[in-house]
Amino acid sequence: MAGDFLSTNVAVCLFAAARYYIDDASRHFASLQQYMLHGPVIEEQLLFPLGMLFIYWLSGYYNRVFMKSRLQELEKTFSNCFAGTVVFFFIALINDLRPDRVHTYLLLLILFGLLFLCVYPVRRVVSRIGRRRVESGVWAINTIVVGCDEESSAIARRIEDRRMVMGYRVVGFLDLSGDKRSFSNRQVFTIDDIDGVISKHDVKAFVIASTKRAEAMRELVNRLLPTGCSVLISPDTYEMLTTRIRTSNVSGEPLVDLSSSNIPDSTLNVKRVFDVVLSVVGLIVSAPIVGILALWVKLDSPGGVIFRQERIGRHKKPFTMYKLRTMVADAESGGPALSVANDPRVTRIGAVMRKYRLDELPQFWNILRGDMSFVGPRPEREYYVSQLCKRFPAYALIHQVKPGLTSWGMVKYGYASDVDEMIERLRYDLLYLDNVSLGIDLKILIYTFKTVLTGKGI
């Protein structure tokens, strides 16, 4: 980021100097120095590089900086500089246009060329330094191979052989039997020690080498996902969860990352920007409505106004979800239970709020905090997550992304009253993971808005 900021500053400075001569600014300024100290020019010098940093981040360039390919770097830099040139045109140049269009095109071409020629070489130098540190072993992704058998040892050897390409360094093995039996010349850990091991050895990834039983695979994935580390498995093992195999790894060991989705980084960043902006607007606009509904809930039945419940989010990490209370205070005194049609636990005002999904307005706060997104698979409780994982192993893939206020499953299927219906709805959410885009999100939001207006929330 420092390299991008400094190189962009150099490009903007050179562009200002070029404009001085191309625009014949000497008629209004005694010297180039006076022109460079002109207020608007200084503003461009201060603000444009910061705006470019935002564009660089928005494109996803900073999301995954480790082992970036030359082709990716070239493509990202080209698109970043083009986007920055367009933004600069609409903000800074559009009011200074001349009748001569060739003059405008020349300025845009010069700005684009200077940005690219200043930014790309710096990025290549930084990336090359990083790659050399990876190749020398100074930088590495500390990895634990899950399993203590010949297959585990073979995968560990292949990973080490491809370390210069993949960047993984095996620091030990995870023995699922729990007896820490001697194996290879590396350390062997147990699943019970995993949290301490991650902290002590700065572990960033787990490679699941050998788990023959699907049930054991589910339990293992559910245990490793909340750690925040990458969980990698072979395509053959991946078939225990789903037959949808997608990987972009060509030169290294073909592994599938269960902890990361195939959603482009740029899409994730744009989604986050929209989440923050829309949730802030939503909180402000809905504040009077929530206040009135809260008073109505309080007068309608005894109990708290805001209903808090622990749900499972991205990487299977729990979070507290907020809703306006729609049921009687002791609705689940007998244990977790899904709502059904004409549920006697639902209050009078609760029925109205559910019909128009007004009870979910407080979840704007969850979105602003980053627990949820506007669109994504609906979050469930641990009680139902464990059942879904047993019945439908592919459910583990849902935790690759943030849960959503609304989802494809909610607009196509609606609320589920039992686990079987939850599984049916889940198929839409898995379809969303394979087709996620800003366009799909917009369509889901439009359908959700239609559902709210027509009162078809239940």
pLDDT reported for residue 307: 93
- DSSP-H helix ranges across 370-413: 382-391, 408-412
First to last CA, the chain: 48
Q: How many whole angstroms separate alpha carbon 167 and alpha carbon 66?
A: 8
Q: Compute how many other C-beta atoms are within 10 angstroms of the C-beta atom of residue 179.
A: 10
Closest to 129 (Cα-Cα) out of 204, 66, 57? 66
pLDDT reported for residue 268: 92
Our CA dihedral for 197, 199, 201, 205, rounded to 10 degrees, sits at 80
pTM of the model: 0.83
Angle between helices 382-391 and 214-224 (to 10 degrees): 150
Residue-wise pLDDT for 310-365, tens only, equals 999 998 899 999 999 999 988 887 778 787 777 889 999 999 998 888 999 999 99
DSSP codes joined into one string, 97-159:
--S-HHHHHHHHHHHHHHHHHHHHHHHHHHHHHHHHHHHTTSS-EEEEEE--SHHHHHHHHHH
Pair 343, 324: CB distance under 8 Å: no
Residue-wise pLDDT for 253-309, tens only, equals 667 787 777 788 899 999 999 999 999 999 999 999 999 999 999 998 898 999 999
Name the pLDDT band for 241 (thresholds 50, 70, 90): low
Name the pLDDT band for 210 (thresholds 50, 70, 90): low
Contacts of 213 (CB under 8 A, 6+ apart): none
Rg (alpha carbons) of the chain, rounded to whole number:
27
Q: How many whole angstroms separate alpha carbon 346 and alpha carbon 21?
A: 73
